[in-house]
A and B are shown apart, each in its own frame.
Chain A
Amino acid sequence: MSSTAGHAPTASEYIVHHLTQLNTSGHAQENVIDWSILNIDTLFYSVLIGAISLYFLWRAASKATSGVPGRFQAAVELLVEMVADQAKGIVHSAESRKYVAPLALTVFVWIFLMNAMDLLPVDLLPRIGEMFGIPYMRVVATADLNGALGMSIGVLLVCLYYNVKIKGVSGWVHELFTAPFGSHPLLYPVNFLMQMIEFLAKTVSHGMRLFGNMYAGELVFMLIALLGGTATVMGFVGHVIAGSIWAIFHILIITLQAFIFMMLALVYIGQAHESH
Chain B
Amino acid sequence: MNLNATLIAQLVVFFILVAFTMKFVWPPIVKALDERAQKVADGLAAADKAKADLAHAEKKVVEEMRKARESAGDVRTSAEKQAAALIDEARAEAGRIIAAAREAAEGEAATAAQRAKEALRDQIAILALSGAEKILRKEVDAKAHAELLANLKQELQ
Write the residues of chain A forming the contact surface with B, with a CB cutoff of 8 angstroms. 21, 23, 29, 31-39, 42-43, 46-47, 50, 54, 57-58, 60-62, 64-67, 69, 73, 76-77, 80-81, 84, 98-99, 101-103, 105-107, 110, 141, 144-147, 149-151, 153-154, 157, 211, 215
Inter-chain contacts of B8 with A (CB < 8 A)? 35, 150
A23:B18 contact, CB within 8 angstroms:
no
The B25-77 residues at the A interface (CB cut-off 8 A) are 25-33, 35-36, 38-39
The answer to whether A77 and B33 touch (CB under 8 A), given A54-B20, A99-B22, is yes
User: What are 19 contact pairs spanning A and B, CB under 8 A?
Assistant: A21-B6, A33-B3, A35-B8, A38-B4, A54-B21, A54-B25, A57-B25, A58-B24, A60-B25, A61-B27, A64-B29, A66-B39, A73-B32, A77-B29, A80-B30, A105-B21, A106-B17, A106-B25, A154-B14
How many residues of B are in contact with the other chain, CB < 8 A?
34
Inter-chain contacts of B5 with A (CB < 8 A)? 35-38
A103:B4 contact, CB within 8 angstroms:
no
What's the Cα separation between A146 and B14 when bound, in Å?
12
What's the Cα separation between A102 and B59 when bound, in Å?
52
What's the Cα separation between A29 and B9 when bound, in Å?
17
Told that A34-B2, A34-B3, A80-B26 touch, could you supply 17 new A-B pairs with CB distance under 8 A?
Answer: A38-B9, A42-B10, A54-B21, A58-B25, A66-B32, A73-B32, A80-B30, A81-B33, A98-B26, A101-B26, A102-B22, A102-B25, A102-B26, A107-B18, A149-B7, A150-B14, A154-B10
Name the residue in B11, B14, B20 with the highest tally of chain A Cβ atoms < 10 Å from its Cβ: B14
What's the Cα separation between A101 and B36 when bound, in Å?
20
For residue A25, which residue of chain B has the nearest CB? B4
- Chain B proximity of A29: nearest CB distance (Å): 4
Inter-chain contacts of A105 with B (CB < 8 A)? 21, 25-26
Q: Which of A46, A69, A106, A150 contacts B18 (CB 8 A)?
A: A106
